[in-house]
């Protein structure tokens, strides 16, 4: 019985990336709810500069700042492990969680046009995000003297272990 050639296994997304993405969506939603809460507490008659000052002087602004820091470290960890154009569209799922929470907390009206728009954005996000979590840089593959394909990728550059024939690619 002849063996059919096995398709190459798809690149697995590391668990750290998956956990980071979930944390990013939860943090995104919390940030937007708290932010709108802060701005709603300021009279709408306030000018632009007044509004910024009033927002910054609220105690809740410190909690917002703490959430920003959490978001920052979350991003740095995930970005070190995966492509920006892979991560970013997935965290856009927070468009749904933010819309639902804004109806719940602030009684905002989610009309059909807005809902359809969000669904279209999510469809776009689905199209954008269906790629491997890490791609080679453009023109990143070079043949070495043995005719084997070497990847001049991120790990090679960071290691400083670039193959002799690829010296020109080193920083």
Tell me the closest approach of the beta carbon of residue 1 to other proteins, in angstroms: 36
Choose which of 30, 98, 133, 152 interacts with other proteins (CB under 8 A).
Answer: 98
Instruction: For residue 60, state whether it binds other proteins (rule: CB under 8 A).
Output: no
Q: Which is nearer to other proteins, 35 or 162 (CB)?
A: 35
Q: Which is nearer to other proteins, 5 or 85 (CB)?
A: 85
Instruction: For residue 127, state whether it binds other proteins (rule: CB under 8 A).
Output: yes
| Helix (H) / strand (E) containing 152 | none
Instruction: For residue 103, state whether it binds other proteins (rule: CB under 8 A).
Output: yes
Phi-psi map region of 31: left, alpha, beta (phi>0 left; psi -120 to 50 alpha): alpha
Instruction: For residue 30, state whether it binds other proteins (rule: CB under 8 A).
Output: no
Q: What Å distances lie between residue 51 and 15, 43, 48, 125, 158, CA to CA?
A: 41, 8, 5, 33, 45
Instruction: For residue 66, state whether it binds other proteins (rule: CB under 8 A).
Output: no
Tokens linked to 160: 């400083």
Give the interface segment with other proteins, choosing from 5-13, 42-50, 142-150, 162-170 (CB under 8 A): 42-50
| Helix (H) / strand (E) containing 149 | strand 149-151
Residue 141 to residue 171: CA distance in whole angstroms: 16
Instruction: For residue 135, state whether it binds other proteins (rule: CB under 8 A).
Output: yes
C-alpha closest to that of 32 among 112, 117, 118, 104: 104
Length of the chain equals 171
Instruction: For residue 110, state whether it binds other proteins (rule: CB under 8 A).
Output: yes
Residue 8 to residue 137: CA distance in whole angstroms: 20
Q: Which residues bind other proteins (CB under 8 A)?
A: 16, 32-33, 35-36, 38-39, 42, 44, 48, 51-52, 55, 68, 73, 75-77, 79-81, 83-85, 88-89, 92, 94-95, 98-99, 102-103, 106, 108-111, 113-114, 116-131, 135, 137-139, 154-155, 157-159
């Amino acid at each position: 019985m002849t063996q059919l050639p096995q398709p190459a296994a798809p690149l697995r997304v590391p668990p750290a990336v998956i956990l980071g993405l979930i944390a990013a969506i939860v943090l995104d939603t919390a940030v937007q709810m708290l932010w709108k809460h802060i701005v709603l507490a300021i009279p709408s008659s306030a000018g632009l500069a007044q509004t910024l000052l009033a927002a910054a002087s609220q105690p809740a602004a410190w909690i917002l700042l703490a959430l920003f820091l959490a978001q920052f470290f979350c991003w740095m960890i995930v970005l070190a492990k995966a492509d920006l154009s892979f991560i970013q569209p997935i965290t856009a799922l927070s468009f749904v969680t933010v819309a639902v929470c804004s109806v719940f907390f602030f009684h905002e009206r989610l009309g059909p046009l807005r809902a359809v728009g969000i669904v279209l954005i999510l469809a776009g996000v689905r199209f954008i995000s269906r790629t491997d979590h890490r791609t080679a840089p453009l023109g990143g593959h070079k043949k070495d003297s043995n005719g084997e394909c070497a990847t001049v990728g991120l790990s090679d550059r960071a290691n400083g272990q670039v193959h002799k024939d690829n010296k020109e690619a080193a920083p």
